[in-house]
Amino acid sequence: MNCQSCGAFIVAQSSFCENCGASIPAEPRHEDGPASDRTAPPYAEAPPYAEAPPYGGVPPQAGPPVPAESPRAGAVPAGRGVLPDSPIRLGHGEVLWRRYEAVRLRNKKRGIGTLYVTDARVVFYSWATGRGPQGRSQLVQQIKLEEVRGLTAFVTNRISTFLLVLTVWFGLVTLGTLFSLLLPLTLLFAVLTAVCFFLLFTEWAQRGYAGVTLQARHVSDSAVTFGRVPTGTAPVVTLLLSPLLVFVHLFMRSYTAFDVLFGQPGKDSEDVIAELGALIMDLQTQGTFAGQHWGVGGEGPERSRALS
């Protein structure tokens, strides 16, 4: 501050001017302030919070900052919360890499077994529709990718022995009736022979199996396994039992999800043989960095039809 008489600079809290000797009047006392505030210099008070204050945008006297409201756990994008064509939920951030129709019943509408490979696990899911009052049955097996230590996969295809023998038998009878000049019977057995021969090239004659076994680390039993290797049943036993059970198999049998485990090869069984081992190995060693090679998360010729 300056002296009111000579204008010289005066040190704060001085009672007289060192230049001219004039006395300095005391500062007025605040009505509500303490005694120590009587000679306080007239400094302006600090302005209120005009800019972003410290402590994360919250004044110290306001308490800790309030966290932002997190989205609901059940709010998942449509079509991304479960594995396709199944009720199995995906984990947080889990991405589907491949889906294989690995095994099925003779009639696809009655049951299918699907093998899913994500960036975290391998899942096998099978379902079968019931017959009459029987309800739908389901089965699921899964194993973490990091726990897979071995893989076995197989696909077998053959034709029905019973249908093949029946075709040959009708053919021989047709020739016998022809040589005997029994033309009506010859025509009848010729038609039956043609029908059986045609069925040999359809799904009715297909008898095959497909399966996968994934061995887990530190576990003697397999975590994911389906399919069975055909047993060497004698053809004579097959011929004797098949006619007796044909009515039950065609008209009365009901299926469960366990029947799907030992069903026929699906449309993607050959793809399981070709790429499942390499896919699991890449996911175990390279993780999501192998996504470009497998066409995951981008457009390109290698994009899986299972992800389309």
What's residue 7's pLDDT? Answer: 73
> Angle of helix 235-247 relative to helix 161-179, nearest 10 degrees?
90
Computed over every residue of the chain, the mean pLDDT equals 74
User: What would the mean pLDDT of 119-124 be, rounded to a whole number?
Assistant: 94
What's residue 251's pLDDT? Answer: 54
**DSSP string over 129-159:** --STT---EEEEEEEEGGGEEEEEEEEEEEE
For residues 121 and 166, the model is more confident at 121
User: What would the mean pLDDT of 257-278 be, rounded to a whole number?
Assistant: 91
Give the pLDDT confidence of 196-253 residue by residue, as tens digits. Answer: 888 888 776 777 888 898 988 876 666 678 775 444 444 444 444 455 555 555 555 6
**In the predicted structure, residue 46 carries a pLDDT above the cut 50:** no
What's residue 70's pLDDT? Answer: 41
Give the pLDDT confidence of 292-306 residue by residue, as tens digits. Answer: 889 886 443 333 333
Give the pLDDT confidence of 50-70 residue by residue, as tens digits. Answer: 454 444 444 444 445 545 444
Q: Are 105 and 205 in contact (CB under 8 A)?
A: no
User: What would the mean pLDDT of 115-133 be, rounded to a whole number?
Assistant: 91
Burial label, 283 (beta-carbon count in 10 A; 0-12, 13-18, 19+) = buried
User: What would the mean pLDDT of 79-93 be, rounded to a whole number?
Assistant: 86
Q: Maximum Cα–Cα distance for the chain, whole Å?
A: 158
Q: What whole-number distance in Å separates Cα of residue 128 and Cα of residue 138?
A: 7
**In the predicted structure, residue 74 carries a pLDDT above the cut 70:** no
Give the pairing type, strands 206-216 and 148-159.
antiparallel
User: What would the mean pLDDT of 97-121 be, rounded to a whole number?
Assistant: 92
Q: What are phi and psi of 80, to 5 degrees?
A: -115, 0
For residues 216 and 34, the model is more confident at 216
What's residue 269's pLDDT? Answer: 92
- pTM: predicted TM-score of the whole model, two decimal places: 0.59
- Residue indicated by tokens 């009901």: 254
Among 46-50, 84-88, 136-140, 207-211, where is mean pLDDT lowest?
46-50
Q: Whats the size of the chain, residue-wise?
A: 308
